[in-house]
Amino acid sequence: MTFVENLTLFVLSAFVGYEVITKIPTNLHTPLMSGANAISGITLLGSVVVAGSGSTTLATVLGFLAVVMATINVVGGYLVSHFMLDQFSKGGRN
């Protein structure tokens, strides 16, 4: 049953994503990409759960690497987006 619930969530999210993202102008596609990228770093959650519960050394090592990678993705992605969007709002004041 859980799989079907997950699938429901997946399909509905896909529709929401389509509706919202097609409205984003070309101007903002680069910041959108790095922002979306940061969101995909949500795997961090998975890494946290696994790294935290790691009952074997191997699982802990894998979890550690996963957390490092995902955190780079999240922190870097949001910051890059932020800097870029700042440029856009600065440009808008001209």
Question: Restricting to residues 12-51, which ones interact with another protein according to CB under 8 A?
Answer: 13-14, 16-18, 20-51
Residue with tokens 């049953």: 1
The answer to whether residues 36 and 62 touch, using CB atoms and an 8 Å cutoff, is no
| Min CB(8)–another protein separation in Å | 10
- Using CB under 8 A, which residues numbered 57 to 76 contact another protein? 58-60, 62-76
Q: How many residues bind another protein (CB under 8 A)?
A: 83
Interatomic CA distance for residues 29 and 27, integer angstroms: 6
- Joined together, the tokens standing for residue 64 give 């550690």
| 4 binds another protein, rule: CB under 8 A | no
